[in-house]
Amino acid sequence: MLSSFVQGEEIPAIDRLVTEAIQSGRMPGAVVLVGQGDRLLHRKAYGNRQVQPDAEPMTLDTVFDLASLTKPIATATSVLMLIQEGKIDPLKNASFYLPEFGNNGKEAITVDQLLTHTSGVIADNSIRDYQSGVHQSWEKICQLNLVAPPGEKFIYSDVGYIVLGKLVEAVSGQPLEQYCAQHLFQPLQMNEAGYLPAESLVPRIAPTERFQGNWLRGTVHDPRARALGGVAGHAGLFSTADDLSRYARMILNSGQLEGNQVLQPETVQAMLVSRPVPPNGIRTWGWDRQSPYSGNRGKGMNPLAIGHGGFTGTGIWIDPESGLYVIFLSSRLHPDGKGAVNSLIGTIGTEAVKSLP
């Protein structure tokens, strides 16, 4: 691992944008990492990872609650691995693998529709449904009615990805966090990525908000993921920028990193296929490409670029045509929940594109 004291390369425009955003109170600090293939273009820590109760400077090895980056990086990638192994057919109904899920119209939902947020399930069911434990929470999800016919509407859905997390567990026979660790993070040497971060990492974790009198630091911010024990298909993943760069480089290199073939080239290609979503959006399996949620996409990125954002102030975009990837990690909710970085992530992506030869 690179030392946390190494400032790395610098794109001056990104330096200015992030510094101004910190000064205006949009977040207390951030880590920005930009690369093109195996070439590092920008890698720098800014501001503070914590401002209350005491200030702590941001470091390059800060660990962040990634929020919804969990969806593509942990859950969708795991589903793709199981598709690669022939254990999941994306065109089959999810209820083929999860029979208890197949009722109230949900029996017609395919795995593909869950991956692209076109399943018709609700965006988020009531937090009250999660207050009686993990087993009962799943029973509540299985009892839900559809809010739209499968395939007819794009509804960005945490519930859909909770279902995909359960699908990974049912098909693999492993808890989601163990499957991700064994099949994805360990082979990629993403040594500080995963669910339920170890106690040894807590001093380097950027806290989010205060909950029941304590700062959430190493405990997932998302209330439903927290109620599910910190492991869910939609949220719960923690990582550093350096580890995420290893994932991005693997995608850009047809599933291989440093001689280790984690995904087959055809699996990466399947991940990158444009999949239209109503009324006129484009998603891929797990990723955004063009939708109401792609406001954090840099201008000038190629049409095949994929990306995603996270509620806690995180974002990643990967452009397979230019080899560019942009990683922005902040804890914009700390300390008062009022920070805002989505447009900043897009502007940084724009400057990253401009920096290319």
pLDDT(7) > 50? no
CA 103, CA 87: separation in Å to the nearest integer?
23
Q: What is the 3-state secondary structure (H, E, C) of 9-48?
A: CCCHHHHHHHHHHHHCCCCCEEEEEEEECCEEEEEEEEEE
Average pLDDT over residues 118-122: 98
For residue 53, say if its preceding peptide bond is cis, omega within 30 degrees of 0: yes
pLDDT(283) > 70? yes
pLDDT(8) > 90? no
Which amino acid, one-letter code, is at 279? P
CA 196, CA 281: separation in Å to the nearest integer?
34
pTM of the model: 0.96
Query: Which residue in 249, 271, 266, 252 sits closest to 188, CA to CA?
Result: 249
Query: Which residue in 331, 345, 339, 342 sits closest to 50, CA to CA?
Result: 331
Which amino acid, one-letter code, is at 83? I
CA 119, CA 167: separation in Å to the nearest integer?
15
In the DSSP assignment, the letter for residue 181 is I
CB 56 within 8 A of CB 26: no
Share of the chain above pLDDT 70, in %: 97
CA 18, CA 311: separation in Å to the nearest integer?
18
Average pLDDT over residues 61-71: 98
Domains identified in the chain and CATH numbers: 12-69+178-182+190-355 (3.40.710.10), 73-175 (1.20.58)
**Dihedral (CA of 286, 291, 297, 300) sign:** positive
CB 24 within 8 A of CB 205: no
| pLDDT computed for residue 5 by the predictor | 27
CA 267, CA 270: separation in Å to the nearest integer?
5
Average pLDDT over residues 147-168: 98
Write phi, then psi, for 318 (nearest 5 degrees): -130, 125
| pLDDT computed for residue 9 by the predictor | 65
CA 106, CA 114: separation in Å to the nearest integer?
11
For the chain, give the mean pLDDT: 96
CA 346, CA 316: separation in Å to the nearest integer?
10
Provide the 3-class DSSP secondary structure of residue 221.
Answer: coil
pLDDT(357) > 90? no
| pLDDT computed for residue 10 by the predictor | 84
pLDDT digits (tens, 9 = 90+) for 301-330: 999 999 999 999 999 999 999 999 999 999
Which amino acid, one-letter code, is at 246? R
Share of the chain above pLDDT 90, in %: 97
* Placement of tokens 């949220």 in the chain: 235
